[in-house]
Amino acid sequence: MMSDISYENLIAEKIGEEIFDFAAEIYPICRSITGRGVRETLRAINAHINLEVHEVPTGTAVFDWVIPREWNIRDAYVKNERGEKVLDFARSNLHVMSYSVPVRQRISLTELKQHIYTLPDQPDLIPYRTSYYAEKWAFCMPHRLLENLKDETYEVVIDSTLTEGSLTYGEYLHRGETEDEFLLSAHVCHPSLANDNCSGIALLTHLAKRMAKLRTRYSYRFLFAPGTIGAIAWLARNEGRCQRIKHGLVISMVGDGGGPTYKKSRRGNSPIDRAVVHTLCHSGLTPTILEFSPYGYDERQYCSPGFNLPVGLFQRSKFGEIPEYHTSADNLDFIAPNHLALSYHLVAKTIDVVESDMVYCNTMPKCEPQLGRRGLYGAVGGDKHAAAGNMAMLWVLNLSDGMHSLLDIAERANLPFAVIREAALLLHRGGLLKPCGDVNSSTT
């Protein structure tokens, strides 16, 4: 059975609107690294794809880490002496530092300020802060609001719990012709931050939904897990199958208009690195290509030296380098359907490269075969693409020696992969090419 996956059958009309609508649906949920918010998010994903949900109990050792207690929150606020809520968790779940321990007391403004995070250089925005592994409590608010608070006594309430529970993650496996896997991972631990990472969750959900209908060469594992500890837990529980992962992408911050940005895997020149870089460089955009560093998202866990998996990070704007990052400005107004659609198309084109890459052998390697006699020269017609198509056929014939894959040829010829693949298909139908060898053993 041949794979029928391609960019053309992965695209969908109004895909950007579908992804945006799902991002908007999950945006209000208060997520953290554990708790009801993660489960609610996974239930929303499960409405689109058949998600397998796993619970890892509190206290479970996962390499050098331990699954923490489960955190949940019902309400939180700060009231002034007139009973007015000057800060209300119900208006924004960013107002409470994630994993804040419960508190209920009356304190002075001076003491309250010791438990407040603001952004003085962005005085109208709420920062996003966490305290996963230290028992603290804090509120987050616009700096302008803090400056306007009167010197009086305040009632502070954080109605939260830290209990024995579990960490939750979900995964969906689309089975292909082989057990070789392509891992696609998104973190599900951030609260109401639209770009980071409602956009990534929504994109992968709709990609998996679309892919479920297709036959593929690779198997595709979609992982939705809390950042850092979730990826570590998955790796600890799946160490034996990690050798199946031949390609991987962490997807985050794909809803804004910046970039695109790609951070390479630790290997630096793995097939996924080459496929993404090739796709972006022929996209007509101005991509930023970053070398690997051990800081960022969950690619740093997948690329840790004990695993060294071929997993890169795909984003639009780079994390930490835009003013909206980890603030209340990362809202639904910051992302847009057209940006989400473009991100989806770039990921789909990358998958197309990985799925379609093959190694061929020229059946008539001694001198050029006569293409005109076979009706192949100018087979794409007299349009503006004819010259590129003809040149692509010459490149494919010359480098199809059992040692070069189609991606190798596309890179060498500096032509889009789709042009090279179409030329190879024409030559194959004309009897001038035959499949030979394994794409994973090809060399440049």
Give per-residue pLDDT as tens, 310-349. 999 999 999 999 999 999 999 999 999 999 999 999 999 9
Q: Do the annotations mark residue 54 as ligand-binding?
A: no
Contacts of residue 396, Cβ cutoff 8 Å, sequence gap at least 6: 360, 406, 409, 420, 423, 424, 427, 433
For 294, counting Cβ atoms within 10 Å of its Cβ (0-12 exposed, 13-18 middle, 19+ buried), the class is: exposed
Per-residue pLDDT of the chain (444 residues; tens, 9 = 90+): 456 666 666 777 799 999 999 999 999 999 999 999 999 999 999 999 999 999 999 999 999 999 999 999 999 999 999 999 999 999 999 999 999 999 999 999 999 999 999 999 999 999 999 999 999 999 999 999 999 999 999 999 999 999 999 999 999 999 999 999 999 999 999 999 999 999 999 999 999 999 998 999 999 999 999 999 999 999 999 999 999 999 999 999 999 999 999 999 999 999 999 999 999 999 999 999 999 999 999 999 999 999 999 999 999 999 999 999 999 999 999 999 999 999 999 999 999 999 999 999 999 999 989 888 888 876 544 455 567 778 999 999 999 999 999 999 999 999 999 999 999 999 999 999 999 977 764 443
> Helix 337-356 vs helix 199-211: angle between axes, to the nearest 10 degrees?
50
What is this structure's pTM?
0.94
* DSSP state string for 38-83: HHHHHHHHHTTS-PEEEEEETT-EETTEE---EEEEEEEEEE-TTS
Homologous superfamily (CATH) for 70-163: Domain of unknown function DUF2172 (3.50.30.90)
Tokens of 189: 């631990």
Contacts of residue 258, Cβ cutoff 8 Å, sequence gap at least 6: 316, 317, 318, 322
> Helix 15-26 vs helix 199-211: angle between axes, to the nearest 10 degrees?
130
Tokens of 157: 């309430």
Q: How many CA atoms lie within 13 A of 323 on its CB side?
A: 8
Distance of alpha carbon 266 from the chain centroid: 17
Residues facing residue 126 across a β-bridge: none
Q: Do the annotations mark residue 345 as ligand-binding?
A: no
Ordered by start, the domain boundaries in the chain are 7-67+166-356, 70-163, 359-441
Cis peptide bond N-terminal to 398, omega within 30 = no
Contacts of residue 132, Cβ cutoff 8 Å, sequence gap at least 6: 32, 33, 68, 98, 99, 229
> Helix 406-413 vs helix 271-281: angle between axes, to the nearest 10 degrees?
40
Check if CATH label 3.40.630.10 holds for domain 7-67+166-356.
Answer: yes
Neighbours of 301 (CB within 10 A): 24
Rounded (10°) CA dihedral 140, 145, 148, 154: -40
Tokens of 6: 């391609």
Q: Do the annotations mark residue 326 as ligand-binding?
A: yes
Output the CATH code of domain 359-441.
1.10.10.10
Contacts of residue 289, Cβ cutoff 8 Å, sequence gap at least 6: 262, 264, 277, 280
Contacts of residue 263, Cβ cutoff 8 Å, sequence gap at least 6: 290, 291, 292, 293, 296, 299, 312, 313, 315
Tokens of 16: 């950007």
Q: Are strands 288-290 and 261-263 parallel, antiparallel or unpaired?
A: parallel
Q: Give the CA radius of gyration of the chain.
A: 25
Contacts of residue 402, Cβ cutoff 8 Å, sequence gap at least 6: 359, 360, 361, 436, 437
- Decide if 7-67+166-356 and 359-441 have a common fold: no
**Cβ contact 236:198 at 8 Å:** no
